[in-house]
Amino acid sequence: MRIGFVGLGNMGAPMAANLVRAGHEVAGFDLAGPWVEGVTPAGSAAAAAEGAEVVVTMLPGGAILREVASAVLPSMGRGAILLDCSTVEVAAAREVAAQAAAAGIGCLDAPVSGGTGGAAAGTLTFMVGGDEDAFATCRPLFDAMGARAVHCGAAGNGQAAKICNNMILGVTMLATCEAFALADRLGLSREAMFDVVSTSSGQSWSLTTYCPAPGIGPSSPADDGYRPGFAAELMLKDLRLAQQAAEGAGADTPMGQRAAALYETFVEREGGRGRDFSAVLPWLAERGRG
């Protein structure tokens, strides 16, 4: 397929490279101008979209998505598809989908899970909202960039699935880190706690796959000085998106609200920016009960 790709950052660059490796013709644009082997550089987002059957976007927020959509949709032919893999507010995804539909263009919101490692390995999970026919058309692209793609329903539902998933992730990571910090204070070794909890009712992905305690369980960012696989500021962004959606929907999410507040403190006042989201463990362990 002929693909336009806008947003060649830490996630977008390896995703575009995987499309090239799968045999697709990719023209790419990014304001920072990174070069991706096999991707034809375009002078603008609109230029990347010209003649493309699918335009993939991987952008940092809803405002930029709206701006890019306004730039690329006029360059896309009727029947083409805008495939947005950014994580943005549900309202922005639905607004862009309506704008695309008015121009006769398909639109999918398809945020991802798997981080930069999954982007490089081509093992991302896509949570997709939008038209089923557009989803089927983009299946080869999902297969090239990821291991799984789940159609979640109408426009915006991909974003809804992503923020619900990451609200769970944020809450369980905090609970896991709190438990390790408490175990430290009680004289329970981290190894013993892991061995018990990983096979008991407290088991979670945050513990067994992405353990925040270094030297325990499978390799994780904790074993690399908490260099981010998923940065704390990105978790904060997703938790804020979840709270924005909850407020709009009238949903009560007290744990999600508290998780957002704790990550806000960690990122904006306690040096967490640029560290992995699991680095709340040393922060909590050092802080003690205030």
Which residue shows structure tokens 């999902």? 142
Q: What does the pLDDT read at residue 290?
A: 62
Beta bridge partners of 41: 28
In the chain, CATH 3.40.50.720 covers 2-153
Q: What does the pLDDT read at residue 21?
A: 97
What's the burial of 111, exposed, middle or buried (CB within 10 Å: 0-12/13-18/19+)? Answer: buried
Question: Measured between alpha carbons, how far is 167 from 239 in angstroms, rounded to an integer?
Answer: 6
Instruction: Please list the ranges in the chain whose pLDDT falls under 70.
Output: 290
Model-level pTM greater than 0.75? yes
SS3 assignment for 205-254? HHHHCCCCCCCCCCCCHHHHCCCCCCEHHHHHHHHHHHHHHHHHHCCCCH
Q: What does the pLDDT read at residue 117?
A: 86
Active site residues: 162
In the chain, CATH 1.10.1040.10 covers 160-286
2-153: CATH topology: Rossmann fold (3.40.50)
Q: What does the pLDDT read at residue 47?
A: 97
Question: Which two three-digit tokens encode residue 46?
Answer: 């609109």
Q: What does the pLDDT read at residue 204?
A: 97
Question: Which two three-digit tokens encode residue 233?
Answer: 């500021």
Tell me if 149 sits within 8 A of 141, measured CB to CB: no
CATH 1.10.10.10 fits 160-286, yes or no: no
Residue 15: its H or E element: helix 12-21
Which residue shows structure tokens 């893999």? 85
The dihedral of CA 151, 243, 124, 54: what is its sign?
Answer: positive
Question: Measured between alpha carbons, how far is 174 from 203 in angstroms, rounded to an integer?
Answer: 13
